[in-house]
Structure 1
Amino acid sequence: MAWDGKDTCINLMPRSLRWHSLWHTYRYYLYGISLIYFMVGLVSLYMCWTSYGVYEQQKVEYLNLRANDQYRVVEQKYSELMAIKHKILKNTSDSNKVNIYQNSIVLYILDTAMDQHISLQHLDVKDGRVSIDGIGTSDEGCRKYIAILQQRLSGMECHGTVKADKGVYTFHMEGSKREHHPTGQQDTNDRSPVGDNN
């Protein structure tokens, strides 16, 4: 049909018939999408229902726990301890922090010695310096003990010597803050080879 020199196509199909045609063409896709949404909805409802059931159970357990006299006592003691801890940290001076740091070093040294079966003869920790003398069951054990301390005492440069005398293995280790010795750490095996004195 011509209209002002242009070809114009007029769709005389009723609107309801067009929708029916589209529905007939894509009905399987629409069925599939509807089924997917239905299944997702069922799964979501199931998850909500189970989550609410777990919430109700945990709520009952929590209320029962809060009603327990022993729990109340423990909670009160814990609150008091936390308050004391915050008070100590708030009022900690620089000198106290140094003492805490030195105490941590001593704990590391003693813990490692017990773990490696080392008997300490002398231990001195003062002003960021460490001096240790001890006896081990073997050359390897002494060197391992020194190597572990070199790793655990971060911020310090540690070196040691190991000696053997008639089957008795002794060692001496010294350490200091890294800023006093900027040359860096050296391996214990390179620093002092074992000498056997029989």
Structure 2
Amino acid sequence: MRFDFRCLDARADAPLLHSWVTRPYASFWGMLAADLEDVVEEYARIQASGHHHALLGLDGGVPAFLMEEYLPAASPLAGLYAVQPGDMGMHLLVAPPPGDPQLGYTTAVMDAVLGRLFAKPGVERVVVEPDARNTKIHALNERLGFQPEGLVTLPDKEALLSFCSRADYLAARKALRVSGDAADITAAQTPTTTLQGVAL
């Protein structure tokens, strides 16, 4: 597998996103009751913000996941923790699998996302704040090096604030390769990105 990234088009990609975010598995994304226009409006707002940006992750050219990157200092996290230079926030939603789930796939997706973020100049730490009840994403985050900090109250949820430094990510990635728990993580996997007018 090889992952690439492209900027999300809020209008053109809305039908695809709507088919993901309104499924029960995506309940923690908070858009189960959204209609198509709600999705367009939400992602048009994100793409126009200047501090928050959404991308589609492609697997062999096929949309496979949605990622968002944002500046914590300009987000609802501002004031809830001591934002450091080099912090970058991230959200991730993997598409529903077309068939049986592939073992290690979400780990490989997370690896590609973190690899992309840490390749950006100045990024030293990735920040996540998933719903405190979302135990599956907590386990995935810890597998790739995130360290839980504690609970924070955001406008839409009680969240588990966690951080992943570059060193923690590289150590976790090495441990996964050595253990064989994530055979799809390889040093040769280098995601590429197609971006237009992205400031982040």
TM-score band, normalised by shorter chain: under 0.3
Higher helix share: 1
Give the TM-score normalised by structure 2: 0.23
Structure (1 or 2) with the larger CA radius of gyration:
1
Hey, which of these two has a bigger chunk of strand by percent? 2
Higher relative contact order (CA 8 A, sep 6+): 2
